Chains A and B, each alone.
Chain A
């Protein structure tokens, strides 16, 4: 019956790029709603209201519910049969719910209405609902909408969609405004602070981050804005900012020492600084990080790693694991390959590695079992079952939930990979 299945397509790599294995089949990935789990911690004055089914509510609470919340900043408007049958006006219903919600939570300044698979399939017009609510609630609360549905977004793409929704609200930078750097992609607070210190040291005095810690304080954007992505999954946001006149700087991602160095150099160069000046500022952090990686390198060098698709961070991670820790790459899976965003990373993949886009999970698992990698990077739905088969895993979601970017996190990132191996060696039962 295998002829019924999609045959994987191996597309030739264009101009020196490695070939990409494109697969379609069962995908073991999260939907974009999951982005809420970290976005609501970053933007502390925002509330995320999913408009969807009980499944959506269940997903978000299964992901975040082990934390006990005194005041959760996310919830779901669960569609019922009456809504599907058109017995109630969905718009009126949403109005009612949002007003109830905002009464309970008067400190909320931005309300995100988040579309889901059911709301997209029945074509509920959340943009119009948001518009209507805005006429009622502004200026106290601003209502925005984006889609985090599984049919349209995979895991971290939910953040891209949320940030994309903020883009039209960014104030226009005045024509004569001095140049400014805008770093795009949610970063842990500690990383953001480190980056800010380094930019300061380089004399780059106007640096903004999107998202910021408060949803109401949005940076201006305009032709004088230099755009630098901190995460590989914010492609749509970058394109929308570019459409507002900002200048897109293309760099590898600030993962590992080399990645971070290249990232800062790209920004500094665009600012008009010379390489020496930049290196002088980065020197301390770079030396410290290089030394800190030493031990991890001895532990990981020569070990093989298989990355299953999850967050789109796989390529930069693989580059770091290979170049800086000496790991052997077997397959690097990514849920989708945004060539705009990943060009600088794919170019650095060593020969012989398989880059795969999309997934047919059972077949991919066959490849994992055949290769028996020293570490498999995979989602939590697969990690324990693979461990039970005797394979060492690193669950991938942690890579999205941990501070891993920049120089001073490089050894923490490496430790995420050495830890499962050290654990396997330590356990005698």
Chain B
């Protein structure tokens, strides 16, 4: 058993729902107990969808367990087919149904429906949401392309014909997928690449059958699409991109990669070399904004990054190379990309944190005492508890991260969005200076949040919150007073450093002098 206060991912059948609900004519029959239809709310409320997710639940109850729950599966499949006439039917089980072993998928197959039935085997006690989405998408694409496998590549590109690509991976409940797709589609089209199929988001089942017609695939959300992209490469010889275009640098790399796959040159016409942000179009403002002197105070701000591997790795690069932050911690909750994440963490000289245990993330953040957390909805809880600024960069998300306005995080406009949203929670430069100079102002003080943010009570400060360690040297009264003169957002780090320093010297108590000795020691 694992103690979970917050879970980063739902069960795998929610991943399958994400794929089904993202598509337009696929229905999903889910063998599940009464109550599991809560997942509909993710789509109708968080994604604000105006249609019910295309899911029929068997919703068995205790009284059904003595009877024939397998029969309920058959009745639900029959009723779903009768009512919705989907182009393809997914059939699977939730965690409780998995224990009953009614073999829902096999039962549905035996019913000889006139449309493809795709049985899903999603082990709910060992796998999670993203795996479920990835597996479901793969099974659907395989089912759609089944008859074409023998024929191989669908189409040869004629000389002079525009290169054609699929955009694979965007789903509902993914982070900003709706706008990322628009941004990347526009980027590809401005490069002269035709977009063939976007899937699963907004695709019909018949669209999946056309996937093999493209020259290459954009593996936009590897958590969902890399399994499928790998299979398409092996089966139809379609190469796929490896760079996720989040951040200015990554978007440039992505363009290079697309140019190579598409056999294009002259992509630099996109990029205006005349501006300080060389290598980005003029309406990509991040490079200039980050260079402008107002951003100088951002230099070296310590940032902790956590999320799915795709967004976390990309965010760390932006933080370090494009914003001038110091990456104080980097981690992800999906084990599938652990290797890439470790490599990235090594580049920033931090330990990689690969865990889906919320409490472990909380411990690592407390330990690193950053000034900014870039994370998921879950890190917002930690940030609130520790009184640290926070911005969301990855799923899981809540309703405020499916905004009405255009808000991509990929491509050049995505970089603009990220600049704004990461800076927003930080105390602004002038205020930061004044807070250091004058500590006892009744309105602007340590305990008050940044003055442009809505007033919230800072419940605890990062430093006060760490459980007292018995081995730690004790602080003298003046030492403690002096520590309070250090601005709150770096105070946690200062305390930690001083204690480490004192311990390394075997000191039992910390005075004002120890504090400044440690400061000098660590700035060498």
Write the residues of chain A forming the contact surface with B, with a CB cutoff of 8 angstroms: 1-2, 4-5, 25-34, 51, 53-55, 57-59, 61-63, 65-66, 68-72, 74-81, 83-84, 88, 90, 93-94, 97, 100-101, 104, 117-118, 120-122, 149-152, 154, 362, 379-385, 387-388
Contact = CB atoms under 8 A, between A and B. Distances in A.
B278 to A, nearest CB: 40
B59 A78 contact: no
Contacts of A117: 33, 35, 95-96
A151 B61 contact: yes
Interface in B74-129: 74-76, 78-79, 81-83, 94-96, 99-100, 123-126, 128
Interface in B290-312: none
Contact of A1 (B7, B64, B79, B398): B79
Given A4-B74, A362-B79, 14 more contacts: A1-B82, A29-B35, A33-B35, A51-B1, A55-B14, A58-B11, A70-B385, A70-B460, A78-B7, A88-B1, A93-B1, A121-B96, A121-B100, A379-B41
Task: Give me the 5 closest cross-chain CB pairs, A-B, nearest first.
Answer: A31-B35, A150-B35, A388-B50, A381-B40, A53-B95
Contact of A62 (B41, B48, B49): B41
B494 to A, nearest CB: 23
A101 B2 CA distance: 11
17 contacts: A26-B37, A31-B33, A57-B7, A58-B14, A65-B6, A69-B384, A70-B460, A78-B2, A94-B1, A97-B3, A120-B62, A121-B100, A362-B79, A381-B41, A381-B44, A385-B44, A385-B52
A93 B3 CA distance: 10
Contacts of A80: 1-2, 125-126
B467 to A, nearest CB: 9
Most central of B5, B57, B64, B380 by chain A CB within 10 Å: B5
Contacts of A70: 381, 384-385, 459-460
A78 B41 CA distance: 22
Most central of A71, A80, A94, A381 by chain B CB within 10 Å: A381
Contacts of A150: 33-36, 59, 61, 96
Interface of B: 1-7, 9-11, 13-14, 33-42, 44-45, 48-52, 56-62, 64-65, 74-76, 78-79, 81-83, 94-96, 99-100, 123-126, 128, 359, 377, 380-381, 384-385, 398-399, 459-460
Contact of A53 (B76, B81, B124, B399): B124
B96 A151 contact: yes
Nearest to B123: A81
Contact of B45 (A51, A90, A384): A384
B3 A54 contact: no
Nearest to B47: A384
A225 to B, nearest CB: 31
Contacts of A4: 74-75, 78-79
Given A30-B35, A55-B94, A150-B33, A384 B50 contact: yes
A93 B2 CA distance: 9
A65 B5 CA distance: 11
Nearest to B457: A70
A27 B38 contact: no
A69 B35 contact: no
B37 to A, nearest CB: 5
A76 B37 CA distance: 19
Contacts of A387: 50
Contacts of A121: 65, 96, 99-100
A71 B49 contact: no
Contacts of A71: 385
A32 B61 CA distance: 12
Most central of B35, B36, B75, B459 by chain A CB within 10 Å: B35
A29 B59 CA distance: 9
Given A58-B14, A150-B35, A380 B41 contact: yes
B45 A76 contact: no
Contacts of B385: 70-71
A84 B125 contact: yes
B125 A79 contact: yes
A310 to B, nearest CB: 12
B224 to A, nearest CB: 18
A4 B2 CA distance: 42
B35 A83 contact: no
Nearest to A69: B381
B73 to A, nearest CB: 12
Contact of B398 (A27, A65, A93, A385): A65
A122 B99 contact: yes
Given A79-B125, A80-B126, A84-B125, A381 B95 contact: no
Given A75-B3, A76-B4, A381-B40, A29 B78 contact: no
A245 B126 CA distance: 48
B1 A27 contact: no
B3 A68 contact: no
Contacts of A101: 3
B125 A53 contact: yes
A6 B58 CA distance: 13
Nearest to B12: A54
A30 B37 CA distance: 7
A118 B95 contact: yes
A164 to B, nearest CB: 16
Nearest to A55: B11
Contacts of A68: 380-381, 384
B44 A384 contact: yes
Contact of A385 (B3, B50, B381): B50
A1 B34 contact: no
A59 B399 CA distance: 15
Contacts of B40: 28, 380-382
Contact of B5 (A1, A75, A149): A75
Nearest to B359: A104
Nearest to A117: B96
A53 B11 contact: yes
Contacts of A72: 5-6, 381
Nearest to A49: B3
Most central of A62, A66, A387 by chain B CB within 10 Å: A62
A94 B3 CA distance: 9
Contacts of B48: 384
Given A68-B384, A150-B34, A152-B61, A76 B7 contact: yes
A2 B459 CA distance: 58
Contacts of B76: 26
A118 B96 contact: yes
A305 B223 CA distance: 45
A58 B6 CA distance: 8
B124 to A, nearest CB: 6
A423 B210 CA distance: 44
Most central of B33, B48, B62, B126 by chain A CB within 10 Å: B33
Contacts of B123: 81
Contacts of B82: 1-2
A2 B81 CA distance: 11
A55 B95 contact: yes
B125 A62 contact: no
A66 B398 contact: yes
A186 B446 CA distance: 39
Contacts of A90: 1
Contacts of B35: 29-33, 59, 117, 149-150, 154
Contacts of A381: 37-38, 40-41, 44, 52
Given A1-B79, A385-B49, A61 B44 contact: no
A58 B7 contact: yes
B37 A151 contact: no
Given A385-B50, A388-B50, A63 B38 contact: yes
Contacts of B128: 54
A100 B3 contact: yes
Contacts of A76: 3-4, 7
Contacts of B37: 26-29, 381
A65 B78 CA distance: 36
Given A61-B7, A81-B125, A29 B34 contact: yes
